[in-house]
Structure 1
Amino acid sequence: MPIDLSRFGFNTVTMGGTLEHKLDCMKAAGFHGVELWARDLIAHPQGVDAAAQAVKASGLRVTDFQPLRDFECAPDAMRAHRLDMAREQLRQMTLVGADLLLVCSTTSPLAINDPDRAAGDLRTLATLAAPLGIRICYEALSWGRHVNRWHQAWDIVRRCDHAGVGLNLDSFHMAVHGDDSPETLARLAEVPAEKIFLVQLADYFFEYSDRQADIIELARHQRLFPGEGLHDVRPLVQLLESRGYRGDYTFEVFNDDYVNSDPMVVAQRGMQAARWLGDHAVTRAAAVSTIL
């Protein structure tokens, strides 16, 4: 069976225009989920409450709320401040009914390189979030200070050992480090499907580069929808589906051309990618499951 389209979410960063118009275009194109940023609320001209009302009125489900940056492994002098910032984002999430907070691996030059400390910080955050019905999703940012590969993020999630803390897989951050190879994807078998809380998908044209400046430029300006570039995300999705992942797939596509295009056209382009992926990623999923 094709992947249910209700499992695909669209990131607001991919479109230009007002929040309300973005939400209208997503829904008109057939999306059921929206990936929100804190700035979608904070930067709304009528304020946070108006932004939250717009999200609720759209009928779209919030797949996740992002990002909480530079949280784990902060020096002792900064920890109270980082916790205050986390509490504020949790508060914002309650306004839109979001139940998954995406935490990016820290890029701070002041961050301490200590996986156990990182796990403890995520556990503290999950304890704050649990009474609100919110889970924590940890992502390896490809230019992260100490954690920039998915298996490093998984090691910290595993050390955390908290039901409310899981792994985010971002196909872009995986591909730029060559972690979309068959050999590396096979290592995902060590991660229980229920500990993968979210999968973000994007393509791009260029090949691997080990220059951080190149990676950041690609990440923030030149991503594409799945199927539009050189990095096929279908093997990743096939593997995850075969292993029982049934969570959301979201399109986190930073692209300057898309932001400057008609939002409705961009939303339709995204839905075309979702249909392509939903129909074709599962064609080999059964075969993959027989091999594993």
Structure 2
Amino acid sequence: MSKFATLSSEESIFSLSHLTLIGATPVELVYIAARAGYDAVSPRFIPIRVPDEFLESPLDKAQVQAFKTALATTGIQVLDIELARITEDVDPCSFEPALEIGAKHMIMSAWTNSRDDRDYLIDVYSQTCDLAMPYGLTVELEFPSFSRLRTLDEALDIVRASDRPNGGILVDTLYLHLSRVDLGELLHVPSELLHMIHISDCLPGIADTQVGMIQLARDARLYPGEGWIDFNGIIERMPPVNYSIELPNRTRLAELGYEEHARRCLVHAKNSFGKSRSKRRLQTSTMSKSKEEKNEQATY
């Protein structure tokens, strides 16, 4: 079995994504997650300086030690680390200090300006996978609807072309909606590339500007069950995966505070899709793409 094999349904865990509480330090994130009932955290150990992001360097030695102490004290796991961004001048080696935290996955997305840089994206993604391999991490390529890679097919093209054993595709329920991805397209992604999913809900309308999409993604996501997202349909078409709740909502944070907002995120998630299970037949990594897709679609 592959080192990066998919899970069984019983092994899936719930993680608190740092963007949900972007002002918290990684240490604060751990203790809040523990009190709110999560299994893991998804800390942002590679800051990108979005508004309200915590100011302390998460890779400061004292911060790292405090983070590890918090993990040991609470029993909380580290599901993934964020956010490795592909930019025009990025050096993948700059991500390496964050790889030592002990996560299972690293999240990556592309933010270059050119639409003609496929080879460059493949090269940087491949280098990052190679860098992460000795640490046992997969590199999950995400497709935010306002980034360089805006669709599932675009992200899948880069991962397939890179052909790394620790490659992966990160499905975010919000971006599935904003990018108008038909849920049937999830069956085109080999099970071995799907390890986790970002969870949040939204209303049915789709913002028609980049500014509108960014505002929704960073400040106004909804609790699962409050909006339009078909979580059951998504989960049924995925292999068993882990769940990272990425649900920033500025209004809810102001009303409820960090811990209560985090707790409600988890409660709504479990109430909305906690009993949902994959209906996809898992295939081995040696199966050809065409045969795998045929079998998985026939199963559903």
Q: TM-score range by the shorter chain?
A: 0.7 to 0.9
- 2:161 is matched with 159
* Matched ranges for 1:48-87 at <5 A: 48-71=64-87, 74=88, 78=89, 82-83=90-91, 86-87=92-93
Q: Report 1:217-256 matches (<5 A).
A: 217-240=215-238, 245-256=239-250
2:125 aligns to what?
122
1:191 corresponds to which of 189, 192, 195? 189
Using the TM superposition, name which of 190-199 and 2-11 deviates more: 2-11
Q: Which runs of 5+ in 1 are unaligned?
A: none
* Identity score, percent: 22
Q: 1:164: how far off?
A: 1.3
Q: Tell me how far 1:61 sits from its aligned partner.
A: 1.1
Which residue in the other structure is 2:286 paired with?
Answer: none
Which residue type is aligned with residue 238 of structure 1?
A: E
Q: Which residue identity does 1:211 align to in structure 2?
A: T
Offset at 1:289?
7.9
Cα distance, 1:11 vs. partner?
A: 1.2
Q: How do 1:21-32 and structure 2 match up within 5 A?
A: 21-32=28-39
Give 3-state SS (helix, strand or coil) of 2:171's partner.
Answer: strand
Whichever residue aligns with residue 189 of structure 1, its letter is L
State how far apart, in whole Å, the 1-side matches of 2:82 and 2:197 are: 13
1:271 deviates by 2.2
The equivalent of 2:150 in structure 1 is: 148
TM-score normalised according to structure 1 size: 0.80
SS at match of 2:168: strand
In structure 2, what residue type is equivalent to 1:11?
A: S
Q: Which residue of 1 aligns with 2:43?
A: 36
Aligned equivalents of 1:197 and 1:3: distance in 2?
A: 12
Alpha-carbon spacing, 1:93–1:225, altered in 2? closer, same or farther (3 Å): farther
The answer to whether the 8 A contact 2:17-2:43 is kept is yes
Q: Which residue of 2 aligns with 1:104?
A: 109
Q: Is the 8 A contact 2:99 2:132 kept in 1?
A: no
Q: CA separation in 2, counterparts of 1:87 and 1:44?
A: 15
Contact 2:29 2:43 in 1 (8 A): no
Conservation of the 8 A alpha-carbon contact between 2:12 and 2:241: no
Secondary structure in 2 matching 1:37: coil
Equivalent residue number for residue 264 of structure 1: 259
User: In 2, are the aligned partners of 1:116 and 1:159 still within 8 Å (CA)?
Assistant: no
C-alpha RMSD of matched pairs (Å)? 2.8
| Per-residue CA distance 1:73-128 (angstroms, 9 max, x = gap) | x3xxx3xxx22xx334321231x21131100122x32x462323322221111112
Preserved CA contact (<8 Å) 2:245 2:266:
no
Task: Give the aligned length.
Answer: 267
- Whichever residue aligns with residue 139 of structure 2, its letter is I
- Are positions 1:90 and 2:93 aligned together? no
CA contact (8 A) 1:3 1:278 kept: no
How far, CA to CA, are the matches of 2:189 and 2:17 in structure 1? 25
Report if the CA contact (8 A) 2:83-2:106 is conserved: yes
d(CA) in 2 for partners of 1:5, 1:222: 30
Distance 2:24 2:189 in 1: 39
Offset at 1:206? 5.0
User: Which of structure 1's runs of 4+ aligned residues deviate more than 6 A?
Assistant: none
DSSP 3-state at the match of 1:264 = helix
Alpha-carbon distance in structure 2 between the residues aligned to 1:89 and 1:248? 23
Are residue 134 (structure 1) and residue 128 (structure 2) matched? no
One-letter amino acid matched to 1:185: L
| Aligned position for 1:9 | 15
Report the alpha carbon displacement of residue 56 of structure 1 after superposing the two structures with TM: 4.1
Q: Is the Cα–Cα contact under 8 Å of residues 14 and 259 in structure 1 kept in the other structure?
A: no
Give the secondary structure class of the aligned counterpart of 1:69. Answer: strand
Normalising by structure 2, what TM-score? 0.79
Gaps of 5+ in 2: 1-7, 48-53, 281-295
